[in-house]
Amino acid sequence: MKNNNTRGWKKVFGFTFIQYVKTKSFIAGTIIIAVIMMLLASGVNLIPKWLGAGEMISGTDPETEIILNKVYVADSTGTLTDEDISGLTALGFPQPERSDDVSGLISRLSDDEAGKVLVTVTAEEADGAILGYAVKTYYSPETDGDSVDAVSSAVVSVMKYRSMLDIGVKPEDFAATQRYYSTSKIQAGSDEWGVFESMINYIVPIVFSLVLFIFVFAYGQTVAQAIATEKTSRVMELLLTSVRPLAVVIGKVLAMCLVSIMQFLVLLLAGGAAFAATAPFGIGGDIMKMMQDPALQTGQNAEIAQALNNSFGTLSPLTFILILVIFILGFMLFALIAALVGASVSRMEDLAQAMQPYSLLGVLGFYLAYFPIMFTAESFDTGAASSNGMQMFSYFFPISSPFSLPSALLLGTLSLPQVLIAIIVLAAFVALIAVIVARVYEMIILHNGSRLKVKDILTLAFGKK
């Protein structure tokens, strides 16, 4: 037998969905936010590249053009050999010329044409021992700054190479001396995080919980406002002549759930398309190139590659399916509560006050998902990925789990069995709220007295009929 209490929900669903997606505010809002998403995605790609972050990831750019026509070298330490100086030509520099007239050359360069540089090498000593070397590069006006930096770096590299050979290191062993070293302090019993992995595990949960909070909260308020508007305008009384009250809330909640998912996907596709289009010109392309080429994964790049693999290496189609399920359940939870709030008021003026408990509930869930990340922020200093009790609580508490579980899935913070248990708990809580709605919605939808409070609704739900 069909459930008469839900008779007509499909009509409400279809009507609500079509009416909402046809509104100018929805269309204009979607377009504006999509454009903003595209600009943000493009900015994430291009701005770091413009600021020079791509050079750190992809290494020194072999395409950099050396715009110099004369290079002088003044080595007062005697470290650099003629072979070393001549070797700079292999790096794209013009044949350097030795000179001891430093002050004279500096004077000439100050009035000379662009493209001329003087590199000086001096030793810094203390108590007769060499502590290090100072490499200074003087350049003529309007000389290309990148070329000046390039020749300075090249001379420093040659100095290091020659110093290692002078103390007996064989040329073939020189590469072994160029390894990088990192230090970290790790709390015993915790997983180790590098700086980049800490940043990923800090930023992703905050961004994800904020985005989901905006969608769930905004559309939940829309459901409450729609039901309150129809009730206070007497449209609900006409609607209830052909549709059962419970069917109204089911139809509206499901329709708004579909609308929110569609809009979320449109924005995701717009941002993804913009990111993909700008990737070849931005830092995204550099990261992809580095991840595909193991030869580029050295030094700091190795830390970045390891952080990305550790954080997102376990992603699968199941991950995104579960995130969608969590989103739907979270939306259903808050939308059902919002529907009750909308049905509990008799005047639109009372809706803002009636929505306060709902708002507090949403904010509580968001902050329970957000604040545990703040407690793990010490991983930036300690390199330790230490979970805390509050963070685990946020994964299993139904009010906060819709905001915290998606990032836990993306980053692999929880195991699959733990995620499934958390989803089951969330689904059970949604079912409980649905039962409460089924018990009291028909009683309060036609209520025209004073605004019903939370205590009144709970009394109707669990008291004797």
Per residue in 320-336, pLDDT tens?
A: 888 889 888 988 888 88
How far apart, in whole angstroms, are the C-alpha atoms of residue 64 and residue 49? 15
Tell whether the model's pLDDT for residue 281 goes beyond 70: yes
User: What pLDDT shows up at residue 313?
Assistant: 55
User: What pLDDT shows up at residue 185?
Assistant: 47
Tell whether the model's pLDDT for residue 9 goes beyond 70: yes
Identify whether the C-beta of residue 147 lies closer than 8 Å to the C-beta of residue 67.
Answer: yes
SS3 for 188-231 is CCCEECCHHHHHHHHHHHHHHHHHHHHHHHHHHHHHHHHHHHHH
Per residue in 372-398, pLDDT tens?
A: 555 554 444 444 444 567 778 888 999
Tell whether the model's pLDDT for residue 20 goes beyond 60: yes
In 3D, which of 420, 357, 364 has the Cα closest to residue 394? 364
Higher pLDDT, 107 or 285: 107
Tell whether the model's pLDDT for residue 351 goes beyond 90: no
Per residue in 44-87, pLDDT tens?
A: 777 766 765 555 554 444 445 778 889 999 988 888 888 888 88
User: What pLDDT shows up at residue 421?
Assistant: 94
Per residue in 139-183, pLDDT tens?
A: 998 888 888 888 888 888 888 888 888 777 776 666 666 665 555
Quote the pTM value. 0.59
User: What pLDDT shows up at residue 424?
Assistant: 95
Tell whether the model's pLDDT for residue 193 goes beyond 50: no
User: What pLDDT shows up at residue 422?
Assistant: 93
Tell whether the model's pLDDT for residue 244 goes beyond 50: yes
Identify whether the C-beta of residue 191 lies closer than 8 Å to the C-beta of residue 376.
Answer: no
As a whole number, mean pLDDT of residues 102-118 equals: 89
Helices (H) and strands (E) in the chain, counts: 18, 6
Integer CA distances (angstroms), 52 to 60, 92, 283, 306, 440, in order: 11, 21, 9, 21, 60
Per residue in 195-217, pLDDT tens?
A: 455 555 556 667 777 777 777 77
Identify whether the C-beta of residue 347 lies closer than 8 Å to the C-beta of residue 452.
Answer: no
| Helix 245-278 × helix 416-444 angle, to 10° | 140
Tell whether the model's pLDDT for residue 107 goes beyond 80: yes
